[in-house]
Every structure is written in structure tokens, then in C-alpha cells.
Chain A
Amino acid sequence: MASLIACPHCGPRPKEEFTVRGDAGISRPAPDAGENAWYVYVYLRDNPRGRHKEHWHHTSGCRRWLIVERDTVTHAVYAVVDAAAQGETA
């Protein structure tokens, strides 16, 4: 991981201020979506080798949920946006 994450609210901050939650590309199915949709949501992961979007929480900063796009091989961070700005939920 890169040492710094550029929080859109706080600017570049040390990675240790953040808590990673995981894959931001999955969205919660409707309660009645059926067993298979829930199985896919809870257990299956794209786990890409390369570009990957994740939810990171700026726990020791603005306490906002962010979407960090980064590379899982080089650890380079490409983009950081506020999760609410993209209208995504998990």
C-alpha cells in the first residue's frame, strides 16, 4: 500500500489513519433477491490482480467512508472519492 491516501476532505494522510473494509464493487441485494444473490454478495469476490476499488474509512480523520481505487500489484493509489459522492452502498 502506498503510505499516503489523499482524502478528498483532509488531504494526503498516512494510511494508518484509515480502516479498510473491502471490495467496493459489490452492492447489497434486495432482501427478497433470493439465496443465490445473497450467496454471491456475501461470499464471492472478483479479487482482481491490478486495479481494484475498496471502501476505506477515514477512522482517525473526517470519519467519512471513501472509495479508494488502487493497484493490488504495485500498491499505487489512483483515485480517492467520498463514497456518498458516487451514491454507492454496500
Chain B
Amino acid sequence: MIAPSSHGESIMRYSAFSVFLNALRANKSWQPAWRSPVPKNHYDVIIVGGGGHGLSTAYYLAKEFGITNVAVLEKGYVGSGNVGRNTTIIRSNYLLQGNNPFYELSMKLWEGLEQDFNFNAMVSQRGVLNLYHSDAQRDAYTRRGNAMRLHGVDADLLDRNTVRQMLPFLDFDNARFPIQGALMQKRGGTVRHDAVAWGYARGADSRGVDIIQNCEVTGIRRENGRVVGVETSQGFIGCGKLALAAAGNSTVVADMVDMKLPIESHVLQAFVSEGLKPFIDNVVTFGAGHFYVSQSDKGGLVFGGDIDGYNSYAQRGNLATVEHVAEAGVALIPALSRVRVLRSWGGVMDMSMDGSPIIDRTHIDNLYLNAGWCYGGFKATPASGFCYAHLIARNQPHDTARAFRLDRFSRGRMIDEKGVGSQPNLH
């Protein structure tokens, strides 16, 4: 099948056959996955931020809601922000009513994503295990698992012996946090994050969306109380509706319309080790010790911990956190002590005051906000884009995203999954 693009050429559909055909042509016929257009003077919708959420919003706006006169403005290049910096985990193991159906929608979209956007995103439902270490924690996970099942989500409570058979290399008799078992979501897993960005970008572009890279929004122009366009590093661009999806820089963009957000920006670090033979089959989280790990298909262990804890817009963190994460990792998996870390990096998290996101309209009629993803934005990428596109196209929230209102803080309707209150560096 050949899908027409907006400029009259055709985008080749990827398939085993296309790989074969291009091999016969010495791989000289591959086309760029998306165009590099010059911005038009005006778009129906401008999305600020070409990360996972911005691109998926554009994709679903075009595909599901028929709005194709759309531009995605990205200040860097596609994949340079959090969509290329996360640890690629997907899951829908949420407890609270406002969260669970939304993240399960995301999981269902992940399950059909590669066929939907014709791109190999390496969706791998290898299972996510959350370890527990005490009777109280087991009870809390039992409650969570039951809540998940009541929402139609898969959940299994594993005892110590079952976990030991699956992951014999864990330290089950750690003096502080002996492992008693785990809550497992078998449908959880990992996805290749770059491919998610590229797949959505290509899918949106082929339906007429302009993806404009190296285009930083520097101002938002308003007339008569409505947004009329944005000032950018490539000049003024007009729009009918403006949709913010700027993640860690949400405050910077919201400041342009004097909108103060319930968000603090914090740095979260992640790490990858040298390539090893297959070792860890699942995603394993050690919440008590601030550590989680999975193994990439290249063999590197991909792992991380908690945010550094202080406000930061720097995409790098502190050595003390590196040490803390490494200690927690070795406490859980003693064999890690001899593994060498290849790289570490940081991303800027838009930490909201209750740990849950915002997908809502704002005090300005044609300005929309998607922010506050904390460090859980990657798994939400498909549903966030889908629900945001629904909101932008219809001016009504999608059923699964009704709770993610901007005014929930003033109305006392917090969605505090972790139950720590208004302390963004603790979520």
C-alpha cells in the first residue's frame, strides 16, 4: 500500500518485501522518513514540542480526527528530549481510578502500535515485576493488583519461590529488604523509544503534518484574549489552536502567557551498562531501594533510580545519585558489582504537585496544555497523544483522561498515586 504525502510524493510502506526490494537496489532507494518543510504562515493547530507526546498528538489528530493542517515545532531535533532519554518501560499497573483506565488505554495502543503506524518499535511485553519486602508491602500490592484486575488489567501476585525461579540472581536475603515476592504485570515490558518518536513522526508527516525541527518558540502572540500564533526562531507562525507539549520546559512556555503551573522541573538520571549475554528477562523494580532494571536487545542493562531532588533544567545530574543508584543495584543484584557502566544521562521531568499529569484546556480559549508527566511520560505516549488530540479536536476530554484537569489542585481532586502530598521531589 502506498500512502500519499502532502507534497505529492509517496511514502513507501515498510515491509519484509520492501526490505528485500531495497536490498536489490543496494539500499540506495530508501527515502527520508519525514520531510523537512519550511513553516507555512498559518496552521489550524500548532503543537509546541516534538517529543513523544507532541508527535503522537499530531499523528492521532491527523489519523483519528482528520485535522491535518498541523505543525509540530521542536526546538532541537526529534528524539533529543525525554523520548530518547527514558528507560523504555511500558506498564499499566496503576491503583487509582483517575489513572488506571488511561494507562490501560495506552497499553492497548502499544499492543497495536507497530501495525498501526507501520514501524518496528520493538514492543516487548516481557513482564514488569515490582518487588515487595514486607507483609505490609505485600498487602499494598495485593490491593493494587486487585484494583488493576477490577479495571480489566492483568496482575499476578508472585511469592518468593516463584520470583526465585524466574530471577535466581537477586539477593533474596538482603538484610534490610529481603525479597518476599513481587506484583507482576505480564503485559508490561519495554519499547524501543527512538522508534516510537520516528514512527509517530513518519506517520504524522505522511498525513500532511509539518514537523519543524530546530524551531524554538520564543513567544505567544495574543489578540482579544485568544492566541493567534507563536514567535519562533524561524519567525512568526499563525495558528487556530495552540497545544503545549513541552514536558520539562512547560513552565517556560506557560510563562509566555503568564500562566503559573503546579509543576517543578527536576532532573532524572538513567544509565546503560556494557553489553552482556541475556541475563535479565523482565523489567525488575526495587522501589524500596530506588532502582529498576531491564536488559536491552543489544545486551546493555538499562537502569535508573529516583530524581536527584532539586529543581533543574540541566539534562545532567549529580554523582551522588549515580553512587546511590549503583549501590541499590548491587544490593539487589550482587553480580552487578563487576559490570561496567557505559553511559549516564539526565532528562528534565515536569514534576506535578500530585504526581499525575494534566491534559486540559486553559484560561485562554484556544490554548491547550499537556504537562506534568513526572517520570512516567514514556509509557503514556500513545494515550496522551490520543486523548490530547481528542481534546484539541472536540474541545471535550477523552473519557479516560477526564481526571487530568488543571483545576483539580484548587478543587481538592488530587490524583496522588503515591500518597506523598504536594511535594514534587517525592513523587
Contact = CB atoms under 8 A, between A and B. Distances in A.
Name which of A20, A45, A54 has the most chain B CB atoms within 10 A of its CB: A45
Given A1-B318, A47-B264, A49-B249, A72 B313 contact: yes
Contact of B261 (A47, A54, A73): A47
A44 B262 contact: yes
Given A16-B320, A54-B311, A72-B313, A49 B262 contact: no
A46 interface: yes
Given A15-B320, A39-B410, A47 B263 contact: yes
Interface string B298-317: 00000000001111111000
Contacts of A57: none
Contact of A72 (B312, B409, B423): B312
Nearest to B324: A16
Name which of A3, A46, A49 has the most chain B CB atoms within 10 A of its CB: A49
B260 A46 contact: yes
Name which of A1, A47, A54 has the most chain B CB atoms within 10 A of its CB: A47
Interface residues on A, range: 20 to 34
A42 interface: yes
Interface string B393-412: 00000000000000001100
Interface in B159-217: none
A60 to B, nearest CB: 13
Interface residues on B, range: 20 to 34
B410 A43 contact: yes
Given A44-B262, A45-B260, A49-B252, A54 B319 contact: no
Interface in B231-288: 249, 251-252, 260-265
B314 A43 contact: no
B34 to A, nearest CB: 29
A39 B260 contact: no
A59 interface: no
Contact of B319 (A3, A45, A46): A3
Contacts of A35: 410
A39 B411 CA distance: 9
B262 A45 contact: yes
Contacts of B425: 20, 22
Contacts of A3: 318-319
B204 to A, nearest CB: 28
B192 to A, nearest CB: 30
A85 to B, nearest CB: 22
A54 B424 CA distance: 14
A66 to B, nearest CB: 13
Contacts of B314: 72-75
A52 interface: yes
Interface of B: 249, 251-252, 260-265, 308-314, 318-320, 353, 409-410, 422-425
**Across the A-B interface, the 5 shortest Cβ-Cβ residue pairs:** A47-B251, A43-B409, A43-B262, A44-B260, A39-B410
29 contacts: A1-B312, A3-B318, A15-B318, A16-B320, A20-B310, A22-B264, A22-B424, A23-B311, A42-B422, A43-B262, A43-B353, A43-B409, A43-B410, A43-B422, A44-B262, A45-B251, A45-B263, A45-B264, A47-B261, A47-B265, A49-B251, A49-B252, A49-B265, A52-B311, A54-B311, A72-B311, A72-B312, A73-B312, A75-B314
Interface of A: 1, 3, 15-16, 20, 22-23, 35-36, 39-40, 42-49, 52, 54, 72-75
